[in-house]
Amino acid sequence: MTLIRLNRTILQTNRLLISRQYSSANEYDLVVIGGGPGGYVGAIKAAQLGLKTAIVEGRGKLGGTCLNVGCIPSKSLLHNSHYYHVASHEFKNRGINYDNLSVNLDQMMKQKEKSVTGLTAGVEMLMKKNKIDYHKGWGKLTSPNDVQISGLDGTQTTIKTKNVMIATGSEVAPFPGITIDEEAIVSSTGALSLKSIPEKMIVIGGGVIGLELGSVWSRLGAEVTVVEFNKAIGAGMDAELAKSFQKTLTKQGMKFKLSTKVISATKNADGKVDVVVEAAKGGEQQTLTVDVCLVAIGRNPYTKDLGLENVGVEMDKRGRIVTDHEFKTNVEGIRAIGDVITGPMLAHKAEEEGIAVAEYLVHGHGHVNYNAIPSVIYTWPEAAWVGLTEEQVKESGVAYKTGQFPFAANSRAKTIDDKDGFVKVIADAETDRILGAHIIGPGAGEMIAEAVIAIEYGASSEDLARTCHAHPTLSEAFKEACLATHDKPINF
């Protein structure tokens, strides 16, 4: 065993030396272009594995869209607006009396910015801790081994590297014919920083971003209408989950126009926005006048001005960088991860890919299981899922079984009076292996991790059904759903 370990150590050392044979005092083993979750996590892993690493980011702050104008600030507003909604709608029934409840929007925004500043500063500290050179500027490839940096201080420098990892993320997808001013007609960025609570708001797009930000302003008092071209909300989530999700959000006051397309959105003389809509299949047009219109129809890969054409990196028809299973492009030494390649545009997906690239460079192997990438919508209740939807399993032709358990029958959910939603588990009918899990309910975003682990390790519904869960906890609903899939639930 000692000899085997020694041989492994020698092999890993040789791989590391091979991977670094190009670098010298002024050259890097890896330069990461893009300082978002995928880029900075990949840079940290590469440095931990012994690679001389640099990261290039032109925003002026690390963390990318996620930390600066995406995941993090939106979760701050979602959390605090949820507190306000609970206080204004539930406190009296819970025996808590108050007077003069109101929203201090300026303070709420300050709290949001505090969380963003703290986290972005923390990422910069991690660069120093791991001895990663942080170049503040816009990176551009002039050759497969040269990255030109247009510094934020006006300087122009070029650094040499053996490998490049492109991790530049994505940008807001524009709506043809609609001009975003980030005041009345806003993207997700503008919706995070409105100066006042709108009386009426339209959200174009019923996906994750639209539902989360629409939920924020609905809780704070806006009349929010979501216009979605498809017949269901939720960005392709399980149909049963989507139906329950919409019902719950409607009960909270949000309105929905499904199978509806937006023709135009323009500011009128009063400073409001006239949004013209019609049925997706065509028909009579209707004009909806609102204070704010949020355009949330998705995101596009950010690949402009990277010099990809200079080195001949192959792109697909949707503007994504083409890679193989090791994240290699068609150009030797250049790899790409995250939103600029195929797959879901999720920060945690990009992080796993960044780590995998570092491992491929040093060890020759890496790991990302795309069947075990969870999705979460951080409304309340939350919606979360992983693996296949029931519709996808049906389409595959695999025989399957499902089990459900409602939070209304969960003791913890009942004691906190937060019992909307359910857990749904889908398993292979023959092997009982879990194929997918779908949750709508309190804490769904945390609970989905159990399903991710189950899918990662090929667990059966019986495996989880026989696993002891603490009582009383919300996670018992997941155990009960597995019991329902394998046999019968106990408490329903």
Catalytic machinery residues: 471
| 3 state SS of 214 | helix
CA–CA separation, 301 and 289 (whole Å):
32
| 3 state SS of 222 | coil
CA–CA separation, 292 and 184 (whole Å):
5
- Cβ count near 474 (within 10 Å): 23
Residues 6+ apart with CB under 8 A from 13: none
β-bridge mates for residue 404, sequence order: 424
What is the C-alpha end-to-end distance of the chain, expressed in Å? 52
| 3 state SS of 130 | coil
DSSP one-letter code for 408:
G
Residue 97 identity: N
Q: Mutual orientation of helices 105-129 and 71-89 as an angle, nearest 10°?
A: 140
Identify the helix (H) or strand (E) that includes residue 19. helix 2-19
CB 340 within 8 A of CB 170: yes
- Cβ count near 199 (within 10 Å): 12
Q: DSSP string spanning 304-343?
A: TTS-HHHHT--B-TTSPBP--TT-B-SSTTEEE-GGGSSS
DSSP one-letter code for 460:
B
Identify the helix (H) or strand (E) that includes residue 435. strand 434-441
Q: DSSP string spanning 78-123?
A: HHHHHHHHHHHHTTGGGT---SS----HHHHHHHHHHHHHHHHHHH
Strand order in the sheet with 260-267: 260-267, 273-279, 286-290
CB 194 within 8 A of CB 218: no
Give the residue from 292, 306, 335 showing the smallest Cα distance to 140: 306
Give the residue from 215, 166, 174 showing the smallest Cα distance to 64: 166
Q: Mutual orientation of helices 37-48 and 105-129 as an angle, nearest 10°?
A: 30
Encoding tokens for residue 251?
Answer: 């009960």
